[in-house]
Structures are given as C-alpha cells and as structure tokens.
Amino acid sequence: MNKPPSVPEHFDAVVVGAGFAGLYMLYRLRELGLSVRAFDSAADVGGTWYWNRYPGARCDIPTTDYAYTFDPDLEKEWTWSEKYATQPEILDYLRLVADRHSLRSDIEFSAAVTSARWDEQEERWAITTSSGQEIRCRYYIMATGCLSMPKSSEIEGAGRFGGQVYFTSRWPHEGADFTGQRVAVIGTGSSGIQSIPLIARQASQLTVFQRTANFSIPAHNGPPSADRLKRLDEDRDEYRHAARWSRGGIPTDLTDVFGMTASEAVRRERFEAAWAQGELFGILNVFADQGFNPASNDIVATMIREKIRSTVKDPGTAEALSPKDHYFGTKRPCLDSGYFETFNLPHVRLVDLRTQPIVSITEEGIETADESFGFDAIVYATGFDAMTGALVAADITGRDGWSLKEKWAAGPSTYLGLMTAGFPNLFMLTAPGSPSVLSNMAVSIEQHVDWVAGCLKDMREAGFETIEPTALAESGWDQHVQDCAAITLYPTASSWYMGANVPGKPRVFLPYIGGVDAYRKACDDVVEQDYLGFRMTGPGRARCHDGVVRRMQPDVALVLELLATLGLPPMDTLSAADARALMAATAATRPPGPEVGEVMDGVIPVPAGDLPYRLYRPAGLPEGPHPLVVYFHGGGWVLGNLDSDDPLCRDLCARSGAVVVSVNYRHAPEDRYPAAALDAFAAVQWVDANAIELGGIPGQLAVAGWSAGANIAAVACQLARDAGGPHISGQLLICPVVDSDLTRPSYQDNGDGYILTTALMRWFWDHYADPADRGDPLAAPLRGNLEGLPPTCIVTADFDPLRDEGVAYARALEAAGVPARLTRARGHIHTSLTMVDVVISGAPVRAEIGEALRTFFPNAVPQEPVS
C-alpha cells in the first residue's frame, strides 16, 4: 500500500544549525515576526562546542571578545572564568543563551535536513528531514559552521584497528580514560596540540604522528586579560564598536613597524611582547609586513623556532617539531598549554611522518615505513573538510535542478560569502568568501546575521520576496577574494584555508582575508547602493542594480586610504618647484626595488645640452651583451628625474634581462613643447649609436616610458620611423599620454580620487604645451601616422583617466597594421605599476611587461626572469 503523502508544514524560514550562528539567526528571525524552524543533528545547542569535547578543548580567541553582544543584560550577567574558556564553559554559555530567549522551542534536535530543493513555481524551498518531514519555507539559512564536517580518514586500513578509536571532532560525551594505555594521536593541528598534553597525563605511552610541524605559541591561560576587562568596563560600547571595525574582530592596534626595516632590538622586543601576551592576533601583528613579505615573515618564524628548540630537550625532536615548510600564519597557528614541553616526558614520542610515513593502520596499531607500533587507542585529530564540506554535503538543489555540489565542483563561488547565484533565498553564514575563520567568529557571525535580518526586513518593506545575487556581482566578489589573498603569503601553504587537506578538493583560497572591517564596509556599501548586485522580485515587481562592489586591487585601495589621511595638497595647486619637492619627498620613503647587476650614471651629449642617464645592467650570467631599452620617466613633462622611476627601472631590468637606460630630459615649464620629445629622440639615437659601449646588442633596441615618458617614447618612435632610423624593435607604453582630449569616458570615470586627476592632467598640459600645439602628433601621437611603427605593448589601468586613450592607441596601431598588445592592469590606478614592493598586486602585471619586452628581442640570449 502506498504511504499517503505527508502534508508539508510551512515556515517563513528554516535554519540549519544551532551553534553560535544558528541561535542568533533564530533570535533575529523571530524578532522580525517570522515563523522559523531550526534543525540540528546534535541533541542540544552548541554546534562546534557540542561536538568538540576532546580533552583540552578551548577557544583561542580571548573570551572577553568571544561572546554575543546583542543582549546587553547577558553581557552584564555572564563572566568568563578564564582568558580562554574551556569547551564545557562555552557550551554552558550557549545553553544559557538558548534558555534566556526560549530558543529551544523552535529547534528540532537530533534531526538533520536531508535535502532542499528550490521550487520555481512556488518560489519556496522544499525541504525534507531525517525524520521524514516535508517542509516548505521561503528562506533557507545554513548556519552549519566552517569546521563541522570531519575529514574522512584516508589512511589505509583505518577501519581495521581493533582497539578504541576516537575523533577529536566527535568525542564521546562520557569522555575517554586513557589511564595506563598506549595511545596514538594522529594530527598536530589545533585539536591535536590542545589535546596531546592532557592525553599524555593519563596514557602510559603516547605516540604523536606528525605530518606537518605546526607553529604554536603559549596561550598563557589564566584569568581574563585585565587590560581588556578594563577597556570593557570603561566603555563597553566603544570596545565592541572597535571590535566590529577591526581587522580580525578584536580591538588591536595594528603596527606600522616593518620587519625588514626594524632594528634587531625592536624586532626582538616586539616578538617577546607578543609571545608573552599569548594572543593570536598579537603574534600575527609583530610586523606590518609579515603577512606578505617572506623575509619579514621569516624573522618571526625563526624566533618561534628558537623558542621550540629552547623548550624541547631532545635536539632531533625539537628539529622535527620546528615548522619549516610554510610561512608563519599561512596555516592556522595554534595556542597551546604545555604542548612542546610534553615531548620532554619520557613516555611521549614524536613520529615524523615526513621521514617515516604511515603505511597502514593494522588490527594492533600503526605501521610506518620503518616500524610497527602497537596501541590500545588511536585518536584522530585530522581536521575537517573546511568551509565547503557541510554546505556541499547538504544536498541543496537550486534553479534548473542544479546542485550546489555541481556548481562548486571547481571551487566555491559566492557573493559576499552570503549567497550564491542560482540559489534564491539561500543564505549561508560564514561561507567561503567571508572573513569567518580568519576572524573572531563571534563578531563575524553577529555581522552576518544582522546583515541577513536587515536584508529580509528591507525586502519585506519594499514588497520583495526573493533575492539572488547576479553572476556579475558574484564573479566580481570571487575575484576580489582571490585578489586579497594573492597579495599575501597565505596561498603558498598547503592549508585547509586552501582546501589542501582534503584529497581531490579544488585548491582555492576560501575565506576573505581583506579584514572584518573591510568586509563590513563592503556589505554596508552593497545595501547603500540599493542592494548592488542582487536581484529582488516580489508580486508584480523586480529590482536589480547590477554591479561589482569592489573592483580596485586591495593594496591600491589601502594606498589611497593612507594618502587621504596625509592630507597632502593637490599637486595642481602647487608651483612646479613645490610639486617637484613633494614628489622627491614621497620617493625618498619607498622601497628601493630589486637588486640588479650594476647601476651607473652618465650623460648623453645632445645639441640642447647634456641629458643625464642611469644605466641598469642585469645581474647574473651571461654577462652580456644584452638588448637595450631606453626608458623615459613619467611626471607630466614637469616632474620626475632619474630617481623618481628608479624602482620601476630596476624591476624592468631584472624582469626583461635587458640593459635599461633611463634618460632624463628637459622639463616644462622651463623648456616647453617639443623640448622633451626632441630630447627623447636624440637620446634614442645616441644609445643606438653607442650600443656596444653600453653593453648592448646593436640593432636590439626598444623604447619604453610611463605616463608622459610614454608620450615622448611614442613620439620618438614616430620620429625614428620618419628619419629612417634608428631601428626600434618595440615600444612599451605604460599608461601613456597619447592625446590631449580630456573628455574621454575614462576621464569622467577616474578624473578624481585616483592620484592622477583631470585637474592635474590639465595642469601638466598647461605647463607643457600651448593649446594650439596640443593636437600636433609631436604632442598627441595618437593623431600621427601610425604605419610602420614597431611592435607595441600598451598597458592601461582600470582607474586611470588615461585608460581610454591607451586603448585607442592600441586599436589605431592595429588598424595601421602594427602588432599591438594591450595589457590591462585590472583594478589599478595610473601610478600602481611604479609602486614596486608597495602595490604588490602590480607585480604580475610587471611580469607581463617584462615578458612583452623579451618578445621584442627574440634572438637575445634567454635569462631567468624574476618571479
């Protein structure tokens, strides 16, 4: 007999998960007057803190900050007993929250959602649960956590062991007694590092199987930090506000000390202070550049390794415990209580799986390449299928029968880490693309939940019932998430942040590393711009303001923010002399650029007088001769000199393997149009004539320039063609001025706020050329004859007023039969590429430029490019 179809229950919203995120989401949805049902496969609230009951489990964010802030009375009533609370205490806290707000009545425990399918007709989610319930809801909210899906054990023979088996992530409620037992722990991440000292207290023998040595610092646990308590007592609201607008979700004074430039004494002092403090965000903030500069990172890493060596008595064990295969911070660092000291105990042994890998788990224990071990118990502390695991496993089917698993097969894609296109009304809290695991989860969770609740309220008030991100907005956010990661060292590590711990998982940097503050601002900006990038629909209405919320490279945005704080006068309000002085002052404080083989200064005798030049010779073998590149600096024909573009010239030399001859030329207003252009041509002629003396290969000569320097480089090419020589192999024009028309769309889009402004460009032109001359090809090469010019590489930047004229020049060259390569500096401004080692995201573009220069000289001896 067929079972009668069950009648679906209807709710406004279904929430999956009753941990930190799920509980607060439920609270906020109820507050909005929505009907809600929450599910959790656990028997009670707690999420992470319900399951991870292993000995030593505690939070590693100070408890003063690891708490809800939505309930002011709760904040006053609850006091944490320790700086880092234990799992039972945190679970008690979450139980109290559930009780205070009577949340349990809307939660079904020991029940899992087994599938969710978007019903296109009804515009509702159709949900089934493990107990066979059918539910329809408008909003489906995944509060399933980032580290909730244990990684399955891929170790050969894992099911064969005859003794006790434990997973730190699924610890038995009754606990485990290891007294007198021979115990193995596999894994040395946070769970292993927290549990190993406590397991060692009971076990008669403890063997720790380590695949990757991990960085860990002492937690110095004790009473909550007096300093943080004092700040909370003085002004709780201010403290919480500072947390919400901080980088990591904890008020932290970000340092401006750079590891590379700090003295040895300052380095040591800052490191020891962070070590003594025992906070993750402290040790990650010893130097401002440790997250992206390998050498600076190594200073911190070396000092941690010294600490390990001074703690662990056996030198071989100390060496094996010292991490050397990843930069500090790029895998989640740990806080420990006596971890390294544990290896001094006579009954504790470390097995380094790098030297003797596990071959198999056996009935009796573990067999490695070198030894057989017998055990009574094996503890797996092997981690999670992080961030995507629980979401992908949840059997979610969106529009057109497309599952989340299919959509994310090559890696997750989200808008703001909150939603994903094709899955209307599906919200994910702390999903990939959100700061989540890189931040204080409590702060991030409250922000996510508040944003979702605010969104549902706004939708209701505007008469909308569905919301979904657009493909454009989502791909823009994905790109931004990857751009943020790419300027750091994080993607270099085989970490769970990269999905590298799960065999076969796509390697994509999962969380948003731009910061809690930057993320909150992006979410707020989306709302302010009428839910930019979201499509909303309701009865008889639809709304979509499509777009990308963050298109600028993150480090460029930081530079602009920093400049704004300096309050410098706009250059176009200064005299030429003052503008030159300002430019020289800023140039004096920047990094020097890469090393090259040789740098020497000289002068070029030209009819108008001597032109100073600086020659950069590539390092390494073969010693030469090399192709030659004559380079002209930028500065609107008014500013700049041999120093101003020095780091860029070094970079071009190192990447291209060419001798770069940077030539200074006469400047306006002292020497107006066409002095600079004529000097450029004269310099090219001289370098060509003196190629051998300069260490160049005769006939292998390119010209290059940035901004106004690219203007005179382009003019020099036209003059050389007209004069029948010298032969020029190629021209590289970086963000060139090629026309005097200041009305192109890129002037409208980017004429203000990105360093080179329309006003400044006008100031440059006014200094350089009379209006009557500005259309002449010697001033505006775009208006000249382009036939017969050498192969060209043009670089344009998205946020440059000159962008469109660069594009126009490339198109016009192509139309004239000249091979033209257009390189787009995505998310960059006019000055980005000159900011070597400051705007790190410019490096890949400069790598392309170096490659383009090499293609101008196909017969040159190849050299190792700088990465």
Binding site for ligand N01 (CB under 6 A): 58-60, 147, 154-155, 168, 186-192, 194, 211-212, 332, 353, 381-384, 437, 496, 501
* Tokens 């008669």, residue located: 204
For ligand N01, which is the closer residue by CB, 501 or 834?
A: 501
Q: Read off φ and ψ for residue 150, nearest 5 degrees.
A: -60, 145
Residue 65 one-letter amino acid: D
C-alpha triplet 592, 597, 602: angle, nearest 5°: 80
The answer to whether residues 841 and 554 touch, using CB atoms and an 8 Å cutoff, is yes
Q: How far is the CB of 713 from ligand N01 (least distance, A)?
A: 50
Write a three-state SS string for 332-368. Answer: CCEEECCHHHHCCCCCEEEEECCCCCEEEECCCEEEE
The nearer residue to ligand N01, 194 or 420, going by C-beta atoms, is 194
Q: What distance separates the 2 farthest-apart alpha carbons in the chain?
A: 105
Spatial CB neighbours of 97, under 8 Å, sequence gap ≥ 6: 23, 45, 68, 71, 74, 103
- Sign of the four-CA dihedral 811, 813, 815, 820: negative
* Least distance to ligand N01, CB of residue 47, Å: 12
Choose between 187 and 647: whose C-beta lies nearer to ligand N01.
187
What's the min distance (Å) between Cβ of 445 and ligand N01? 14
CA distance 461 to 368: 63
Helix (H) or strand (E) holding 655: helix 646-656
Nearest to 440 by CA among 221, 243, 253, 276: 243
Q: 663 near 680, Cβ under 8 Å?
A: yes
| Helix ranges, 487-596 (H) | 516-528, 554-566, 576-587
Give the nearest distance from C-beta 736 to ligand N01 in angstroms. Answer: 48
Q: How far is the CB of 383 from ligand N01 (least distance, A)?
A: 2
Among 608, 615, 601, 613, which residue's Cα sits nearest to residue 682?
608
For 160-190, b/e burial (b = at least 16 CB within 10 A) is: ebebbebbbbebeeeebebeebbbbbbbbbb
Specify the DSSP class assigned to residue 61: S
Residue 178, sorted as left (phi over 0), alpha (psi -120 to 50) or beta, turns out to be: alpha
| Residue 424 to residue 434: CA distance in whole angstroms | 19
Nearest CB to ligand N01, comparing residues 369 and 861: 369
Cα separation, 857 vs 674, in Å, equals 30
Q: Which is nearer to ligand N01, 387 or 571 (CB)?
A: 387
User: Among candidates 367, 413, 628, 403, which has minimal Cα distance to 506?
Assistant: 413
Scored b (16 or more CB within 10 A) or e, 27-58 reads bbbbeeebebbbbbbbeebbbbbbbbbbbbbb
CB of 353 to ligand N01, least distance (A): 6
Contact yes or no for 664/633 (Cβ under 8 A): yes
Residues 134/115, Cβ–Cβ less than 8 Å? no
Q: Which residue is nearest to ligand N01 (CB)?
A: 189
Q: How many CB atoms lie within 10 A of CB 238?
A: 12
Which of 669, 424, 643 lies closest to 535, judged by CA? 424
Closest separation in Å from C-beta 520 to ligand N01: 21
- Give the nearest distance from C-beta 70 to ligand N01 in angstroms: 21
User: What DSSP line would sit under 686-744, residue for residue?
Assistant: HHHHTTTTTTEEEEEEEEEEETHHHHHHHHHHHHHHHHT-S---EEEEES------TTS
Least distance between ligand N01 and beta carbon 391 (Å): 17
3-state secondary structure 228-293: HHHHHHHCHHHHHHHHHCCCCCCCCCCCCCCCCCCCHHHHHHHHHHHHHHCCHHHHCCCCCCCCCC
As a whole number of angstroms, the distance between CA 384 and CA 393 comes to 13
Nearest to 852 by CA among 615, 629, 620, 696: 629
Tell me if the bond preceding 819 is cis, omega within 30° of 0: no
- What are the tokens at 482? 């990857």
The tokens describing 593, both together, are 């650029």
Q: Is 207 helix (H, G, I), strand (E, B) or coil?
A: strand
Task: Report the Cα 419 to chain-centroid distance in Å.
Answer: 19
